[in-house]
Structure 1
Amino acid sequence: MSDLRTRAAGPADLDAVLAFWKTAAEGTSISDDRDGVERLVARDPAALILAERDGALVGTVIAGFDGWRCHLYRLAVRPDHRRQGIAGALLRAAEERFLRLGGRRGDAMVLDRNESAHPAWRAAGYAPEPQWSRWVKPLA
Structure 2
Amino acid sequence: MEEKQMDLVSLLLRPELPNVQKELPTARYRVKRLSELLDTDVVFTLKGLPYGKVQKLRESMSDDVSVQILLQGCVEPNLKDPVLKEHYGGATPAETVKAMLLPGEIEDLSRAVERLCGYRKLTIEEVKNA
Q: Normalised by the size of structure 1, how large is the TM-score? A: 0.25
- Structure number with greater Rg is 2
Structure with more of its chain in helix, by fraction = 2
Structure with more of its chain in strand, by fraction = 1
